[in-house]
Structure 1
Amino acid sequence: MPELPEVEALAGFLGERLTGRTVERVLPVAVSVLKTYDPPLGAVEGHRVSGVTRHGKFLDLATDGGPHLVVHLARAGWVRWHDRLPAAPPRPGKGPLALRVRLTDGAGFDLTEAGTRKRLSVHCVREAADVPGVARLGPDPLAPGFTLDAFAALLRGGRRQLKGVLRDQSVLAGIGNAYSDEILHAAHMSPFKPAANLTEEETATLYEALRITLGDAVERARGHAAAELKAGKKTGLRVHGRTGEPCPVCGDTIREVSFADSSLQYCPTCQTGGKPLADRRLSRLLK
């Protein structure tokens, strides 16, 4: 799933290519992709793109005097840029193509989604905040005003575990499964440690790990073409998706805890005092 660093890079990539150019057609191909009906999707057509920005993991394509196209790529969605799109309109079918945006000069991009579980979403709205998922977002962890005190305030109260807090978009915008693993590894903390139990020193350590991990990932992704970002993300990850490999810090074997539709990876030596986490629901290991 593309997370904050990749979506930030995609916003820059598309912004460079779309800003100032005029939308000719927006063609939904997958019936499930469009989540709004007012304004209609055709309201974007004929308008110039004024910019592309990011809200958490949402892409926001704004038009000059028209509506916004707000896209969430979900787990398996992606963007494919074309300097020259095929002349014939796409046909609905079983392929990965979900939506096509054509510019008046013949260039444009496709939104694609692999797999059978279709969760990619496109919203045509007057303002980005009209999308419920955008309206619910917590603060952006890389925003200049996101201070250590602001972060500490988010962790207070309740008994939620760090992994869940970092992934909750209403708490922090843009962090998903991969980068929450990376942040916790960098902070040397268990994914199951209750957030409210952190000391002031631990909170500061986690805050620094969060800012550095995401900031470094954004810099690695910056300037790359959309087609290169997936491979670039994988190369930069130290523990996520690397079950069975040696930890790059201590050499211990990276372990995994599996869930119904996802998994987390961690290093026992770096994060859990050398003790493997057998199961998320049964583990009582909090450090």
Structure 2
Amino acid sequence: MPEMPEVDALVAFLRERAVGAVVAEVELASFSVLKTYDPPVTALSGLQVTGVARHGKFIDLEVDGLHLVIHLAKAGWLRWADSFTDKRLRMGNGPLTARVRLDAGEGPHLGFDVTEAGTRKGLAMYVVRDPADVEGIAALGPDPLGDGFELAPLLQGRRMQVKRFLRDQKILAGIGNAYSDEILHAARLSPFALASELDAEQVARLAAAIPEVLQQALASAHGKPAAELKDAKRGGMRVHGRTGEACPVCGDAVAEVTFSDSSLQYCPTCQTGGKPLKDRATSRFLK
């Protein structure tokens, strides 16, 4: 799933290439991907892209006062093209859900495709007058890399696993499954620890790990073409997606807990005192 660092890099990539161009057309290959009807998507045609911004994991193209907002969900991606043919999209065109054609002065032949792999569809696009009109953006918690961010007040009273705390977009904006694993490994915390019961030292470790992990990922992602960001993300992971491999800190084998629709990875030695976490039903809440 694209998370803050990859989305931020995509935003920078689009800002460099799309700002100043005119939206020629937004073609849809899936009606369900567009979640709004007023303004209509056709209202973007002929308007200039004036900016690109990020809100959590949402991409926001400002188009002369309107906003094309994209949430890539679990399996979505953007694929830039310097040259499109005139062939139009057809409905149900496989993983291709939409095409944004741009005109930088030489015709509507560049832009980007919005794609989504797999059968579980969650990718969403919105055309709005204000980004806050998108419910998911309006509900976002603070950006953990934003000015004045403080972690400790957000932890108070949260009787929830710290893994879930980090992933909840209404509490923190931009962190998903992969970087929550990486942050917890860096902070030496069990993913099943209760957020409200972390002691002062644990809170301090977590507060330091969040910007450390995210800033490193941002530095790695920025400047890379969109096509290379997924591989760069995977290559930078220490525990996420590395079940059975050696922890780069202690050498123990990275372990996994699997749920119905996701999994988490952690190092037993670094994070749980050597105790394996079995599953939600049988694991203890480890501090």
Q: What is the TM-score normalised by the length of structure 1?
A: 0.97
Aligned residue number for residue 211 of structure 1? 211
Could you tell me which amino acid in structure 1 is paired with residue 12 of structure 2? G
Aligned residue number for residue 68 of structure 1? 67
Offset of residue 93 of structure 1: 2.6
In structure 2, C-alpha distance between the alignment counterparts of 1:160 and 1:138, rounded to whole Å: 16
- SS of the residue aligned with 2:114? strand
For residues 123-162 of structure 1, give each alpha carbon's deviation from its aligned partner in whole angstroms, at most 9, with x where no partner exists.
Answer: 000011100000000000011221xxx2100000031110
In structure 2, C-alpha distance between the alignment counterparts of 1:38 and 1:285, rounded to whole Å: 47
8 A contact 2:29–2:93 mirrored in 1 = no
8 A contact 1:48–1:64 mirrored in 2 = yes
8 A contact 1:272–1:285 mirrored in 2 = no
In structure 1, C-alpha distance between the alignment counterparts of 2:159 and 2:273, rounded to whole Å: 21
Once the two structures are superposed, the pairs formed by residues 177-256 of structure 1 within 5 Å of their partners are 177-256=177-256
- SS of the residue aligned with 1:119? coil
Could you tell me which amino acid in structure 2 is paired with residue 275 of structure 1? K
For residues 156-208 of structure 1, give each alpha carbon's deviation from its aligned partner in whole angstroms, at most 9, with x where no partner exists.
Answer: 00311100000000000000000000000000000000011112221111010
Q: Are 2:83 and 1:87 equivalent residues in the alignment?
A: no
Aligned residue number for residue 12 of structure 1? 12
In structure 1, C-alpha distance between the alignment counterparts of 2:156 and 2:285, rounded to whole Å: 20
- SS of the residue aligned with 2:32? coil
In structure 2, C-alpha distance between the alignment counterparts of 1:18 and 1:44, rounded to whole Å: 14
Offset of residue 282 of structure 1: 2.1
8 A contact 2:194–2:285 mirrored in 1 = no
8 A contact 1:190–1:272 mirrored in 2 = yes
Of residues 102-111 and 259-268 in structure 1, the stretch that sits farther from structure 2 once superposed is 102-111
- SS of the residue aligned with 1:286? coil
For residues 42-61 of structure 1, give each alpha carbon's deviation from its aligned partner in whole angstroms, at most 9, with x where no partner exists.
Answer: 11111100111110000000
Of residues 275-284 and 178-187 in structure 1, the stretch that sits farther from structure 2 once superposed is 275-284
Of residues 119-128 and 275-284 in structure 1, the stretch that sits farther from structure 2 once superposed is 275-284
In structure 2, C-alpha distance between the alignment counterparts of 1:116 and 1:98, rounded to whole Å: 13
Segments of 5+ residues of structure 1 without an aligned counterpart are none
- SS of the residue aligned with 1:8? helix
Equivalent residue for 1:138, pick from 129, 137, 141: 141
- SS of the residue aligned with 1:32? helix
Could you tell me which amino acid in structure 2 is paired with residue 89 of structure 1? R
Aligned residue number for residue 102 of structure 2? 103
Number of residue pairs aligned between Structure 1 and Structure 2: 283
In structure 2, C-alpha distance between the alignment counterparts of 1:227 and 1:116, rounded to whole Å: 22
In structure 1, C-alpha distance between the alignment counterparts of 2:45 and 2:18, rounded to whole Å: 13
Offset of residue 94 of structure 1: 4.3
For residues 79-103 of structure 1, give each alpha carbon's deviation from its aligned partner in whole angstroms, at most 9, with x where no partner exists.
Answer: 0101011111111234111000111
In structure 2, C-alpha distance between the alignment counterparts of 1:158 and 1:4, rounded to whole Å: 23
8 A contact 1:32–1:118 mirrored in 2 = no
Q: Percent identity?
A: 61
For residues 251-270 of structure 1, give each alpha carbon's deviation from its aligned partner in whole angstroms, at most 9, with x where no partner exists.
Answer: 00000000000000000000
In structure 1, C-alpha distance between the alignment counterparts of 2:218 and 2:132, rounded to whole Å: 24
Could you tell me which amino acid in structure 1 is paired with residue 6 of structure 2? E
In structure 2, C-alpha distance between the alignment counterparts of 1:285 and 1:42, rounded to whole Å: 51
In structure 1, C-alpha distance between the alignment counterparts of 2:280 and 2:140, rounded to whole Å: 26
Could you tell me which amino acid in structure 1 is paired with residue 127 of structure 2? C
For residues 101-125 of structure 1, give each alpha carbon's deviation from its aligned partner in whole angstroms, at most 9, with x where no partner exists.
Answer: 1112321110011111111100000
Aligned residue number for residue 59 of structure 1? 59
In structure 2, C-alpha distance between the alignment counterparts of 1:269 and 1:241, rounded to whole Å: 17
Offset of residue 28 of structure 1: 1.0
User: What's the C-alpha RMSD, in Å, of the aligned pairs?
Assistant: 0.9
8 A contact 1:155–1:196 mirrored in 2 = yes
Could you tell me which amino acid in structure 1 is paired with residue 165 of structure 2? V
Segments of 5+ residues of structure 2 without an aligned counterpart are none
Q: What is the TM-score normalised by the length of structure 2?
A: 0.97
- SS of the residue aligned with 1:138? coil
In structure 2, C-alpha distance between the alignment counterparts of 1:119 and 1:94, rounded to whole Å: 16
